[in-house]
DNA sequence: CATTAAGTGGAGGGAATTCCTCCAGTACTT
DNA sequence: AAGTACTGGAGGAATTCCCTCCACTTAATG
């Protein structure tokens, strides 16, 4: 594969993540090509179907989240609180909300490698959160998945909001949410069923 | 106006709120008519433009939220904690998230009466939250708008999630969020700018 | 109960998106 | 410099959505 072609391919994946995040998983593919400043044909040559593109986004994003979790787990030894906050901020930055649809959409016919990556990421995040619960930094009655879903929902683009509003509001909402995750929070209703596995 | 016509009109407004909530503010109008089990012509006769329908949804929902806030304010005297929780649960039930777009979309050319209703609702909710802050039940460094936005974002439909997941997950996330709103939470980043007034 | 005016449904033409292919042309690589 | 990998974007097909039109139905009224 030619070097410049590979670069374009990566640009497309990044663009797709951004556009999916901004305009939803059903955003027109043309918009993604335009965002990547690339011809539409280039997109189709690299990703024959929308799913191919979505899976590529899932692969890279999952890998990044996994790396973040592993690093946070490592940093936990010294300063668990800061590690946790850094992890969350990074995940927010990644706009996880954009990814969830690609993962849930067709859980069944997910390509094996994406499925694997998903399992690995899930394992890493789960371990991190359990560790933090052991440290007493996170209440015991929440499931890792719920935390991820909360972050995803709070970081989903509010299409119709002023841009600077989103930029300022989201970090504050995340902080409030994190505060609510601390062990002294009020009791929770029963947890979600197991088939809800998203990440 | 004929009695059955009025009833259909109200059915349409309810259907619109549900469909807007489920599929976004740009859901096809046909879907709304179908959901209301009504011909598409009936929808157009009652609401010539999409905005007319959106405004009708806004009017009724805002009125309901205002009534809820007023009642909660009243109940505050006896049991502020329970009143607050009841209020939030009711707002969640109303699927406020469906409303926000209609309000933000065209803040400028909002019809006067919707604008007024919005102001009244905003005033009522603001008063309620300030009261709760006085009671020491809500941290002082959050703005009422932020609380509303948080609830809206957490209750927006995750189109691609299993239904029972949403049903079970949302109440838990709301509870976590509320826990984070209590006064002993960690410090917040700077608040959002004033032009962000959504409710 | 008959009359009438208000109200209804949904087919279907038109406009607007979006998809996706095709091929003449560009630019890495060796 | 040659050759091959790669590119862009025009444009036809397909889909989606909008919205009007009119033959028919039903509530109100005397």
Q: What is the pLDDT of residues B54-99, one digit of tens each?
A: 999 999 999 999 999 999 999 999 999 999 999 999 999 988 876 7
Q: How many residues belong to chain B?
A: 199
Q: What is the pLDDT averaged over residues A115-125? A: 92
The model carries a pTM of 0.86
Q: How far is B35 from chain A (nearest CA, A)?
A: 22
CA B146 to chain centre: 13
Pairs across A and B, CB distance < 8 A: 159
Residue contact A154–B153, C-beta within 8 A:
yes
pLDDT (0 to 100) of residue A31:
97
pLDDT band at B162 (very low <50, low <70, confident <90, very high): low
Please say if the pLDDT value at position B145 is more than 70: yes
CA of B4 to C1' of D25 (A): 13
Residue A137 has pLDDT above 50, yes or no: yes
Contacts of B192 in chain A (CB under 8 A): 165, 168-169, 172
By the 8 A CB rule, do A92 and A150 touch?
no
Average pLDDT over residues A70-81: 96
The confidence score (pLDDT) of residue A170 equals 83
Confirm if B80 and B135 have CB atoms less than 8 A apart. yes
Name the one residue in this structure whose structure tokens are 């994406």: A114
Query: What does the alpha-carbon distance between residue A55 and residue A18 come to, in Å, rounded to a whole number?
Result: 14
In terms of C-beta density within 10 A (0-12 exposed, 13-18 middle, 19 or more buried), how is residue B104 classed? buried
The minimum CA-CA distance between A151 and chain B, rounded to whole Å, is 10
Greatest Cα pair distance, chain A, in angstroms, is 57
* Partner residue opposite B150 with nearest CB, options A173, A182, A185: A173
Nucleotide nearest to B36 (CA to C1'): C9
Nucleotide nearest A42, from its CA to each C1': D7
Averaged pLDDT score across all residues of chain A: 86
Torsion of CA A163, A168, A169, A171, to 10 degrees: 130
**Pick from A52, A44, A38: which is nearest to A7 by CA?**
A38
| pLDDT score of B135 | 94
A39, A33 contact by CB (below 8 A): yes
Per-residue pLDDT reduced to its tens digit, B15-34: 999 999 888 888 999 999 99
Most confident segment among A89-93, A134-138, B31-35, B92-96: B31-35
Tell me: pLDDT of A197 over 50. no
| Contact assessment for residue B178 and residue A186, using Cβ atoms and an 8 Å cutoff | yes
- Rounded CA-CA distance A139/A129 in Å is 10
Q: Which residue has the tokens 């909300």?
A: A97
Residue nearest to nucleotide D27 (CA to C1'): B2
Q: Give the nearest nucleotide to A3, CA to C1'.
A: C28
Structure tokens at A109: 């016919």
User: Do B181 and B138 touch, CB atoms closer than 8 A?
Assistant: yes
């Amino acid at each position: 594969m030619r070097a410049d072609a590979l670069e374009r391919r990566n640009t497309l994946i990044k663009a797709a993540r951004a556009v999916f995040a901004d305009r939803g998983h059903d955003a027109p593919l043309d918009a993604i090509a335009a965002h990547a400043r690339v011809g539409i044909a280039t997109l189709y040559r690299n990703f024959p179907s929308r799913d191919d593109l979505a899976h590529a986004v899932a692969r890279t994003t999952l890998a990044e989240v996994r790396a973040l979790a592993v690093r946070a787990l490592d940093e936990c030894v010294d300063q668990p609180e800061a590690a946790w906050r850094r992890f969350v901020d990074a995940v927010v930055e990644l706009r996880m909300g954009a990814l969830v649809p690609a993962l849930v959409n067709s859980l069944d016919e997910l390509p094996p490698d994406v499925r694997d990556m998903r399992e690995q990421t899930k394992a890493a995040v789960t371990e991190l959160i359990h560790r933090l619960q052991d440290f007493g930094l996170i209440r015991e009655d929440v499931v890792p998945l719920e935390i991820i879903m909360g972050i995803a929902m709070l970081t989903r683009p509010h299409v119709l909001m002023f841009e600077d509003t989103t930029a300022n509001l989201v970090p504050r909402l995340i902080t409030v949410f994190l505060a609510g995750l601390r062990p002294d929070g009020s009791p929770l209703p029963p947890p979600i069923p197991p088939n809800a596995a998203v990440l």
